[in-house]
Amino acid sequence: MNVASSMLLSPNDPALRSWVESANDASGDFPLQNLPLGVVEDGPAVRIGERVLCLRDALDADLFVKKLASNDEFLMALDVGWLNGIAELDPLAQSMMRENIAAMLVHGSPVRTKVERLLRDANDCEPTAPFVVGDYTDFYASLSHATNVGSMFRPTNPLLPNWKHVPIGYHGRASSIVASGAPIRRPKGQTVASDDGPPTFGPSKLMDYELEVGFFVGRANELGDTIPVADAWNRIFGFVLVNDWSARDIQKWEYQPLGPFLAKNFATTVSPWVVLRQALEPFRVPGPPRSAEDPQVLSYLADPLGTNVDITLEVLIASRDMRDKGTAPTLVSRGSFRDMFWTPAQMLAHHASNGCNMEVGDLLASGTVSGPTKESRGCLLERTWRGTEPITLGDGTERKFLADGDEVIMRGFCEREGHPRIGFGECRGVIMPASA
């Protein structure tokens, strides 16, 4: 008998609590209302507090409702070592799975004993990158970031005339997307001592991070078709933190006329737990108001929902010496995703507006998330203003850009009165020396 045959429960109810005690920690990232998905050594899994439940284990223990347990597409999705199969399920099956998992983990669940035997300590799991990503596109959607960077290189004309009309982006390299914790090798490339060259080839001296939020496409469109902006939010599967590592000296020499290339394609780190779109519903906020001087967006980008998400974002840095001595990492940036000028729906709709076929599992990233204050700037290029205003780490050393051995730690979370905190966990990476 399937003891969970009638067990479905909406996890967005803020009053719900889990029998997994660590999930009820008010300062934790993974309450019952979150239930983010990731991939561990045995396949797709869900995070609850400081524990992890492999979905295949739950299926084998007869914990899914019959309608799911007899769904061939659901069964195949659990046998795939990535989340692509789950993202391809129809929305009803996805919702049923989330509600079924919530019913297993809610306080008073009749299947607690069976589930408890299956839970693993999160520290014993090694999550991988959650999707097989066919394509990766990085946007440039923060007004503060675009203005700051523009003012460094074009003081009299920081924002190019197209920026407020069109979401600017470039195609990144999907093959170099790595999971949180993967070491990042300092890249080599052409750099110049002066704007006119000549170039030399060698390790980048100006390594930087970029604090971003990414989202995975959950519903595809056919080649030649578009995605209406009003439908775009519902086509997003879930969100992650993204570190778009950047070699600023290589970028300076190569970016004209076609934009970023080798300065960014050597590594992009994503956080391991995908926070589903449904879990972020309580934290949706209107897109930023536009001033009277701002241009009206073209009709295909007029987002009736205007949905941004209020995600607090932090960047911390720990040198090798700090880690060896147990010194806490230094907080160097704190901002919010709600400050973005272009919304996720606008980014996705624009990407498909020319008939580009978006595939399930494609990753779109926001570009550097920066706010109006110095402390909310989302990369060292801005935070140290091209190295002219170094930051001091907890061990007393200064940084203009990243040194070998530095670990960059990104965190994100949503908070709202009356709702449990929804977190993204961490996105980590340590800079390793360039190859010989």
Spatial separation of the C-alpha atoms in residues 372 and 148, rounded to whole Å: 10
Q: What residues contact residue 404 under an 8 Å CB cut-off, 6+ apart?
A: 186, 320, 431, 432, 433
Spatial separation of the C-alpha atoms in residues 172 and 163, rounded to whole Å: 19
Strand bridging mode 236-243 / 207-208: unpaired
CB atoms within 10 A of CB 291: 7
Beta strands in 51-132 (DSSP E): 51-54, 120-121
Which residue shows structure tokens 């498909």? 352
CA angle, 368 as apex, 400 and 154 as ends, to 5°?
Answer: 70
Nearest to 248 by CA among 390, 412, 380, 373: 380
Q: What is the DSSP string of 15-29?
A: T--BSSGGGG-TT-S
Q: Which tokens belong to 276?
A: 């589903």
Question: Is 350 designated active site?
Answer: no
Nearest to 358 by CA among 45, 72, 87, 165: 87
The amino acid sitting at 131 is F
Which contacts (CB < 8 Å, 24+ apart) does range 73-77 have?
77/44
Q: Which tokens belong to 250?
A: 């290589």
Spatial separation of the C-alpha atoms in residues 8 and 164, rounded to whole Å: 44
My answer on whether omega of the bond before 130 falls inside 30° of 0, hence cis, is no
> Which residue in the list 145, 350, 351, 419 is annotated as catalytic?
145
Q: At what angle do helices 72-79 and 91-105 cross, to 10 degrees?
A: 70
The answer to whether 371 and 279 have CB atoms below 8 angstroms apart is: no
Spatial separation of the C-alpha atoms in residues 31 and 22, rounded to whole Å: 8
- As a whole number of angstroms, the longest Cα–Cα distance in the chain is 75
CB atoms within 10 A of CB 222: 9
3-state SS assignment for residue 283: helix
**What sign for the dihedral angle of Cα 346, 351, 356, 357?**
negative
Which sequence positions are flagged as catalytic?
A: 145
